[in-house]
Amino acid sequence: MSGLTKLVAGNWKMNGFSASLGELKAMIEGAKTLSGVDLAICPPATLAAQAGWTLKDSTIALGGQDCHAEKTGAFTGDVSAEMWADIGAKYVIVGHSERRAMHGETDAVVSAKASAVLRAGLTPIICVGETLAERDADKTVEVVSSQLAGSVPEAAGKASFVVAYEPVWAIGTGRTPTTAQVAEVHAMLRQALEKRFGAHGRTIRLLYGGSVKPDNARELMSVPDVDGALVGGASLKSADFLAIARAAA
């Protein structure tokens, strides 16, 4: 066990309309009875400002799902890390597998985005994870360690950041790796971070993500070096998100 306070971060992806703020309010109410766990919700950009006001003074932090590496400029449709900071965000997810696969984001792009998040004074949640073909070819450790090396910028050596291990084949599929498979990757991630950053590497939270649900959260959260969860689908419903948060507390 790493002994770090666990973080449960909800990634709403391209889901949520104004009416979803009701779910957020229910999460805030439910989270009042929880201690010993950090919580965050990453809404779509259209809800970000309203979500920021709703979450203000609550125990749930606001997070972004992505950002541009530059601070401002002619980048139509993009949002910068400083803009996330401006509305009170604490975290920004970078390198989610959907961004890597659908927007061609390389490790170098992810690293630049993570640097931008640090520049803005926020905490990047840097995602890594293998595809099913890579797992079947026994390349999981090779792929994930290479993503980690390429996606975590040098500047992170003195800053707070989070790594999320998300096997691509487990995201939104209802399939999860065995606890032994999760333990193997998280041990490798911890070792790699300690090798690169020394004692600082022991302070980095390693989240597991991919079909985390109320009924499997407790088991996944008990795996050594699992310091929380990045939750997609189950973070859209307050009851499910709170049940996962309780399992991590």
Q: Footprint of ligand PEP on this chain (CB under 6 A)?
A: 11, 166, 171-172, 209-212, 230-234
Q: Which CB, 43 or 233, lies closer to ligand PEP?
A: 233
Tokens of 133: 């073909």
Minimum CB separation of residue 157 from ligand PEP in Å reads: 25
Q: Of residues 82, 96, 98, 105, which has the active-site annotation?
A: 96
Nearer to ligand PEP, 82 or 90 (CB): 90
Q: Which residue is nearest to ligand PEP (CB)?
A: 232
- Tell the smallest beta-carbon distance from residue 229 to ligand PEP (Å): 8
Is 166 a known active-site residue?
yes
Per-state percent for the chain, helix, strand, coil, to nearest 5? 50, 15, 35
| Whether 154 is catalytic | no
Nearer to ligand PEP by Cβ, of 173 and 191: the residue is: 173
DSSP alpha helices (H): ranges in the chain?
Answer: 21-31, 45-55, 81-86, 97-102, 107-119, 132-136, 140-151, 179-197, 214-221, 238-248
- Smallest CA-to-CA distance from 81 within 90, 94, 68, 93 is with 68
Could you tell me how far CA 30 lies from the centroid of its own chain? 21
Asked if 63 contacts 89 with a C-beta cutoff of 8 angstroms, the reply is yes
CB 150 within 8 A of CB 128: no
Q: Are 118 and 155 in contact (CB under 8 A)?
A: yes
Q: Which of 23, 105, 130, 166 is catalytic?
A: 166
**Shortest Cβ 165–ligand PEP spacing (Å):** 10
Q: Shortest distance, CB of residue 241 to ligand PEP, whole angstroms?
A: 11
Q: Could you tell me the CA-to-CA distances from 18 to 23, 46, 131, 136 in Å, in that order?
A: 10, 9, 34, 41
Q: Which residue, 63 or 210, has its beta carbon nearer to ligand PEP?
A: 210
Q: Supply the residues annotated as catalytic.
A: 96, 166
